[in-house]
Structure 1
Amino acid sequence: MLNYIDLKYKPLKTDLICEFYLELNNITVEKAASHVALESSIGTWTDIGTMNKRIAKTLKPSVFYINKKENIIKIAYNENLFEKGNMPEILSSIAGNIFGMSVVKNLRLLDISFPESIVKSFKGPRFGINGIRKITGIKNRPLIGTIVKPKLGLNEKEHAKVAYDAWTGGLDIVKDDENLTSMKFNNFNKRVIETLKMRNKAEKETGQTKIYMPNVTAETNEMLKRARFVKANGGRYVMIDIITSGWSALQTLRNADLGLVIHAHRAGHAAFTRDEKHGITMLVIAKIARLIGVDQLQALFNTEGFESFLFLLQLDIDMRRQQVGEHRRIANVVRRHQYLGRQAAAEVDELLELLQTRAHQRLDLEAVRFLLCYRLDLRLEVRLLADDLLNDESGEPLHQNARTALR
């Protein structure tokens, strides 16, 4: 077998680099790393007589980093191992047969770094955050949206009415859920017409730009037909379930260049991302989605994390309405929101104790926010979302219609 380990190798700018976690199966990390490298490139499970020096010299990847303590490796792949603009082919190599190898108990693709040549072979987002802010006219605050519930069951007019209530209640965005496409009780074309009609009404009444994200997920030809229907009827956005539709479908939609913002729903991602020892991270999925061309990716977190986030957000809003420097008022606000989450409730007690011990000090909002993020152990993506939301200085309360739609 060729030697794929080269810890002295310095990756080139043209290399595609993957980071993997390995759980070993009675072999050394070096041997396991070699198997990952060969199976994801020019080798296979056994020696082959057709391998030659030219292939090995020009295309053999290099395992250039091994962390034996954490069982993490990094592999640099020659860019010519991959077809430009073909994500299925790329993933068939670096995220294909390797997951079924018996030489490792578990294998997880943690991260990918794409070279410029591959990046340029995909369109990438047409709008991105700056383009979306230009469309909406919202520059200095987060975009706030909701999803029509129940997921399935409402007819076209009922769906449009929920969207209207959310928009006139102060929200910017309303979207279909992941499994609402074109149903017997809710036809896609009729739903789009009715909901866009109510969007126009809400825009006229509020003087604000409102967004509707219809789910165009379907077989690729039908998907494009539906996206064009949205465009023809004055829609600005479409949503697609990127995992269940597949990367080729997403690329087909982006390459059609319809001038629509693409919102990505990640339904099905947990089949890859949930196991912390095996599969593919959400980071990798997000990078691929952006590379192909989604403008925004729906990101959620676990229930307790979400409860904690709601606690943090509501606490911050209420603290703005109080005199933030007065610790007793802060404590009262905190107590009122203990019900928002089991995890939050337990950690609030510690915060209250701290507030009491520092009664002589003025606590600013940033200090309390940081403490909550730390105490509640909010994940990085939640903290970033919290920072974005909490930086909104408008202090505008949500209308009752919006609160109803959010339930």
Structure 2
Amino acid sequence: MQRVTAKYYIETPLDLNHAATVLAGEQSSGTFVAVPGETEELKHRFAARVESVTVLDSSTTPAIPGVEVKAGVYQRAMIEVSWSVENFGYNLPVLISTLQGNLYELTQFTGLKLMDIEFPHSYSQVFEGPKFGVDGCRKLTNVYDRPLIGTIIKPSVGLSPQQTAELVRTLAGADIDFIKDDELLSSSANSPFEDRVDAVMRVINDHADKTGKKVMYAFNISDDMDEMQRNYEKVISAGGTCAMISLNSVGISAAKKICDIGELAIHGHRNGWGMMNRHPLLGIEFPAYQKLWRLAGVDQIHVNGIQNKFWESDDSVVRSIEACQKPLFGGYSVLPVVSSGQWGGQAPETYKRTQTLDLLYMAGGGIIAHPGGPGAGVTALHQAWHGAVQGLTVAETASKYPEFALSVEKFGKK
């Protein structure tokens, strides 16, 4: 029988094998005490199985509250646990409840983090995965052999549809590839969703008619299910190519329902990520997280950025980009979205460490707040990536390109 295998990073003051067995029991056929009906035959078919326990280091203090021991040693390990597909079939919410449910409540653990998931091949026959991915997003934007350059509408909330459209006009004229609503804006008092879509798409369609280049704009359609579908249909009717959803807010079932429509590229924003990942021994790691959203069909997903404005380390960002590049079932392409306090100065290190151009490289303030205006900000991002691919340093690139040099003056000390 095919099985799903999950890898966890754990900490416990108890015997490691015992703690792993408790997790397997709690998340399958067992409970805190033996019950009638849990026969050996039932357990053989439905009980989770501890596949491996790899001992790591230890600590004298617990990472998070758990079982109380006196002057104990908190042992850390990597464990692998597997479940028969029969337990949950191809039901993503129940799969997630199994992999990430009550196990976080178990007092036996003083640390527990889901690190990765391996799915059997049968999942590829049920879940189609991203409809567009890297190649599809490149085709929609007609951008090849370099990263897609993008930005976020700033101020995040407060601009009218007309003001937003004028900013889009400036950015489109500067050869931007991608623009998105901020995740804080969907439909506000002064910017109703339908009005904003109409105003922005008039500009984008007019620019495409004149130049042949259609800017991809990710409208934030996040809402309840019925309203999301109406928002999605509005974007299609206006000639848009992309919609954004806040993954952790709408949930995997709603995201999959939207992705299954298949007419728009789906930009997956992971706001709320720090709540799931920031603690080193609690939550979920990105390699596991992005696989779930790839199954749902998301085409683009945020990965933070090198030297970002948040807490995430550069090493973690690089691992996230590499996780997106790793084929799932030999395909399921997803475009990593680099963002969070980015400007052209991080491009050389990003390219050096990842050696990929298959990125959506976004700068909000790094474009909008450029001393020469948003148009010069877009130009500076293009210049930064020209320099990065050529192996130039930030200083060498600045000496070659005046718009990028202004970026260095403005953002280089931040």
What TM-score comes out, normalization by structure 1 length? 0.73
User: Structure 1 residue 23 and structure 2 residue 11: aligned?
Assistant: yes
CA drift at 1:198: 1.1
Which residue is equivalent to 2:81?
75
Higher gyration radius (CA): 1
One-letter identity of the residue aligned with 1:121: V
**How do 1:168-183 and structure 2 match up within 5 A?**
168-183=173-188
Whether the aligned pair in 2 keeps the contact of 1:146 and 1:174 (CA below 8 Å) is: yes
1:4-41 residue CA offsets vs partner (Å, 9 max, x unmatched): xxxxxxxx7x22110001110x3111111111111111
User: Structure 1 residue 142 and structure 2 residue 147: aligned?
Assistant: yes
In structure 2, do the counterparts of structure 1 residues 82 and 391 end up closer, same or farther at CA, with 3 Å as the change threshold? farther
One-letter identity of the residue aligned with 1:94: L
- Provide structure 1 residue ranges, at least 5 long, that are not aligned to the other structure: 1-11, 310-339, 345-368
Higher strand share: 2
SS at match of 2:35: coil
Which residue is equivalent to 1:238?
243
Q: Give the distance between the partners of 1:193 and 1:125, measured in 2 at CA.
A: 27
**1:56 equivalent among 32, 40, 43:** 43
Q: Give the distance between the partners of 2:286 and 2:21, measured in 1 at CA.
A: 25
Which residue is equivalent to 2:225?
220
SS at match of 1:44: coil
SS at match of 1:238: strand
Whether the aligned pair in 2 keeps the contact of 1:144 and 1:173 (CA below 8 Å) is: yes
Which residue is equivalent to 1:383?
354
Q: Give the distance between the partners of 2:182 and 2:281, measured in 1 at CA.
A: 30
User: Structure 1 residue 287 and structure 2 residue 291: aligned?
Assistant: yes
Q: Give the distance between the partners of 2:291 and 2:78, measured in 1 at CA.
A: 20
In structure 2, do the counterparts of structure 1 residues 253 and 63 end up closer, same or farther at CA, with 3 Å as the change threshold? same
In structure 2, do the counterparts of structure 1 residues 206 and 290 end up closer, same or farther at CA, with 3 Å as the change threshold? same
CA drift at 1:305: 8.6
What TM-score comes out, normalization by structure 2 length? 0.72
CA drift at 1:141: 1.5
- Sequence identity percentage: 27
One-letter identity of the residue aligned with 1:75: V
Q: Give the distance between the partners of 1:243 and 1:199, measured in 2 at CA.
A: 29
In structure 2, do the counterparts of structure 1 residues 306 and 88 end up closer, same or farther at CA, with 3 Å as the change threshold? closer
CA drift at 1:308: 8.5
SS at match of 1:177: coil
Q: Which of 171-180 and 53-62 deviates more?
A: 53-62
Q: Give the distance between the partners of 2:390 and 2:224, measured in 1 at CA.
A: 40
Whether the aligned pair in 2 keeps the contact of 1:170 and 1:399 (CA below 8 Å) is: no
Moved over 4 A (4+): 304-309, 384-389, 395-400
Q: Give the distance between the partners of 1:391 and 1:160, measured in 2 at CA.
A: 32
CA drift at 1:392: 7.8
SS at match of 1:72: strand
In structure 2, do the counterparts of structure 1 residues 251 and 46 end up closer, same or farther at CA, with 3 Å as the change threshold? same
One-letter identity of the residue aligned with 1:16: V
- Provide structure 2 residue ranges, at least 5 long, that are not aligned to the other structure: 58-76, 316-343, 360-384, 392-396
**2:273 equivalent among 269, 276, 288:** 269
Q: Give the distance between the partners of 2:310 and 2:283, measured in 1 at CA.
A: 24
SS at match of 1:138: coil
1:269-299 residue CA offsets vs partner (Å, 9 max, x unmatched): 2111111111111222211111110111122
SS at match of 2:115: strand
Q: How many residues align?
A: 326
One-letter identity of the residue aligned with 2:85: E
